[in-house]
Amino acid sequence: MNMRIELISDVLRENNLEYPTLAVLQSTEDLYTALLLQPAARVTVREDFIRNSDCDQAHQLFSSIAREAHARAVELFVTPEYSFPWKTIEELLNAGITPAAGKLWVLGCESLSLGELAGLKARFAGRATVIHENLAQQPAAARFLDPLVYLFRTRELNAGPEHIVMVVQFKTAPSGDPQNIEATRMAKGEEVYLFERGKEVRLISIICSDAFGFDQDLVKDNYEHLLLLHIQLNDSPRNEAYMRYRRQLYDYDCDSTEVICLNWAENIWFDMKDGAAPLRKTNIPASAWHSKSKKFATEDEVVDGNHRKGLYYTYETGQHRHMVHFSYRPAAFVLEATKVRHHGVEAARSRRRGPALTHVLHWDGAKGAWAEAVPPADDGFAAMTDDYGASVRMLNGIHATSPLNVERLACITNGEFGPRQDWFEAPNIFTMGLESRAEVMRRISVALDPEGTLFRDHRIRAVSALASISAGDLPVPSHMKDIQQGYEFGWSRQAPNCNVSSLVDHRPAALVYAGENPAQTTLRNLSAKVTAITAKSDYADRFCVLYREGPDVKRFAAPNEPSITKIDSHPGKNFTEPEK
C-alpha cells in the first residue's frame, strides 16, 4: 500500500499552470459557503465498474445539484465516492456550468475504466485541462479506477489565458466488499494531492479506504492548519480502520485542523449481480464535521438552530473534539463556515466557530429538481417518544422549544449533572458526549444512532418512570408539598439544576430518579453528588432522590436528615421512608 502526498502547486507548474487562489483556503475571517451532497445510495457493483444503478436519474440529480452549486456560488462543493457521473461532467462543461474563479469542486466520480484513462485528456480537450498521475504497472486483473476530481479555474503561467482544470486523484487502497471486487479489480493510484501555499489553509482529500494508508507519519507531517475531506461509499464507516487517522490527528494540539466526512445516505443498496435482488445494508452514513477549535460555536441558539435543520452537535471529551453529525436521510446540505485557520487576524475578530447549516435541499424525483426542506428535520425523537407512550410525550413540547433542554432534563432526572457548575453548557452535558473511541451519538433528543439505543433507553425509562408517578404520591418533604399538587417538566438557566416546577407557584425543584431497588451506597453517593451541585443555588433544599422498592416509591434521606416519618405526613400508600 503506497500513498505519496504531492504538492498540487508542483503538479500545476509542470503543466504550465498557476496555483489558484481558492476562497476556502484563505486564512481570513471571511466565511465560506459549502454544499455537501449525501445522496440516496443505489449502487451497481460489477467486475468492470462501480456506479449509480439508475444512470438517467443520477445524471439528472447530479446535473441539478451542480447547477445549484454554481447558482449559489458556493466556495466548496463536495460529493461522495463513486457518485458523480462522467457524462454529467461533460454536459456541465458544454453548458458552461463550472466553478467560478476562487471556487473548488471536489467530485467523487463513478469508476473509470483503465481503457478510458488513456483518452481522458482528449475526451475533455478544449473544455478542460485534465491532469492525473502516470500510473505504475497494474495487476493484469485490474479493470477500473476509483477517481476524485478537483475542478477549479486557474491561468497559465505568466498571466496566460484562464483554464478550467480537472486534477484527477485515484484511490490508493481497496475497501472490503461482499464480492471483494475492489481488492481484485481496482487499479491503485499512489498520489494524494495537497493544496498548500504560504499561510493558507492546507487541503487534502482521501477516498474511503485511503484512510488505511493515511498513517501516523503522514498525519504528523500534515495535520497543521489542515482541512481534510474524507469521501466514502461505506456501509461500515465506524470501523476502527476508517476512524484511526482521526484519533491520530486529534492526538496532536491541532486547534486548526478540521475533517469533513461525507458518505452516501443511510441504508445503501448494492446491486451485485444481474437478475438478483439488491443487497440491502442497514447502515448509518456517519457524515460529520470534526473540529477542535477553541472558539467553536456551542451557544444554545447555534446548537438548536443547526439541530432543527439536521446537523447534530456532540463533544468528545478525551480529545476535546467537537463533532457535528449530519442527518442520515438523503439531502444536500448548504453550510456557512469559518475558515480552518486565521492568520494575521486580530484576536477580537478571530472567531473560528465552525459550520452553520443554512439550507437543506431534498431531491424531488417527480419534478426532477432540488427543493428546499422546511425545518424541523426528522431526528427520530417523536417516533421514540411514541414508543414509550404518554408518560414521555410531554417531552415533545420541550423538544420543540429546545432539543438541548431535553438533554438537560434527562441528565437531572438520572442524576447525571455536575459536578462543575456549568455542566448544562452544550459541550459539558453528559448525554452530548461521544462514546469513547467509537464516535457513537448517544443524545436523547436525536434518536438516530442505533448503537446509542441502550444508552438512550436507560435515561428515557427513568424519565418515564418518574413521570408515571402521580404527583400526589410523591414522597417529598414538607417544604416541597407544592409539588404534590401538580408539577410540570421544564428547564431554565435561572434554575439550571432543576427539572420540574410546581403548578401552584411555579417554584423549581429537582426530582432525581435512581431506579428500582438501588443499593444504599448508590443512593448515598447520588444524594451527596446532588447536594454538592445544588448547595450554592437558590433551590438547595428543593431536591429529592427517589426510587422504587417493590410497589413503593421512596425518598432517600441522607443520614443527617430527620426521618420523614417524624416531620411529614402523607395519605398515599407509597409514602415510605428507607431505614437508616
Domain span(s) for CATH 3.60.110.10 in the chain: 4-372
Question: Cβ contacts of residue 394 below 8 Å, gap of 6+?
Answer: 467, 488, 489
Determine the average pLDDT of the residues in 280-290: 97
pLDDT of 179: 80
Determine the average pLDDT of the residues in 66-72: 98
Question: Cβ contacts of residue 424 below 8 Å, gap of 6+?
Answer: 408, 411, 417, 491, 493, 496
Taking 50 as the threshold, does the pLDDT of residue 202 lie above it?
A: yes
Strands 112-113 and 331-337: unpaired
pLDDT of 568: 42
pLDDT of 191: 98
CA–CA distance, 362 with 39 (Å, rounded to integer) = 9
CA–CA distance, 431 with 125 (Å, rounded to integer) = 54
Q: What is the pLDDT of residues 116-136, one digit of tens each?
A: 999 999 999 999 999 999 998
Determine the average pLDDT of the residues in 354-361: 98
In the three-class reduction of DSSP (H, G, I as helix; E, B as strand; rest coil), residue 103 is classed as coil
329 and 266 Cβ atoms separated by less than 8 Å: yes
Taking 70 as the threshold, does the pLDDT of residue 439 lie above it?
A: yes
Preceding peptide of 419 cis, ω within 30° = yes
Task: For residue 209, give the nearest of 236, 181, 172 by alpha carbon.
Answer: 172
What percent helix, strand, coil does the chain show, rounded to 5? 30, 25, 45
User: CA 335, 336, 340: angle at the middle one, nearest 5?
Assistant: 110
Q: What is the pLDDT of residues 478-512, one digit of tens each?
A: 999 999 999 999 999 999 999 999 999 999 999 99
In the numeric block, the cell 486564512 is attached to 27
Taking 70 as the threshold, does the pLDDT of residue 567 lie above it?
A: no
Residue 15 exposure: Cα atoms within 13 Å on the Cβ side:
21
What are the DSSP calls for 524-575, one per residue? HHHHHHHHHHHTTSTTTT-EEEEEEETTEEEE---TTSPPHHHH-----TT-
CA–CA distance, 509 with 497 (Å, rounded to integer) = 8
**Residue 136, number of CB atoms within 10 A of its CB:** 10
What are the DSSP calls for 335-375, one per residue? EEE--S---S--GGG-----EEEEEEEEEETTTTEEEEPPS
Average pLDDT, the chain: 94
pLDDT of 561: 55
In this structure, CATH architecture of domain 4-372: 4-Layer Sandwich (3.60)
Cα 381 to its chain centre, rounded Å, is: 17
Cα dihedral: 346, 352, 357, 359 (round 10) = 30
473 and 574 Cβ atoms separated by less than 8 Å: yes
pLDDT of 159: 87
Strands (DSSP E) along 208-330, which ranges?
226-231, 257-262, 269-271, 279-280, 288-291, 311-316, 321-326
564 vs 346, residue with greater confidence:
346
pLDDT band at 391 (very low <50, low <70, confident <90, very high): very high
Taking 90 as the threshold, does the pLDDT of residue 435 lie above it?
A: no
pLDDT of 254: 84
Q: What is the pLDDT of residues 7-55, one digit of tens each?
A: 999 999 999 999 999 999 999 999 999 999 999 999 999 999 999 999 9
pLDDT of 436: 76
pLDDT of 189: 97
Q: Sign of torsion, CA 307 429 439 270?
A: negative
pLDDT of 1: 55
User: CA 113, 116, 118: angle at the middle one, nearest 5?
Assistant: 125
Q: Does an H or E element contain 206, and which?
A: strand 202-207
What residues does 336 pair with on adjacent strands?
33, 356
pLDDT band at 560 (very low <50, low <70, confident <90, very high): low
What share of the chain has pLDDT > 70, as a percent?
Answer: 96
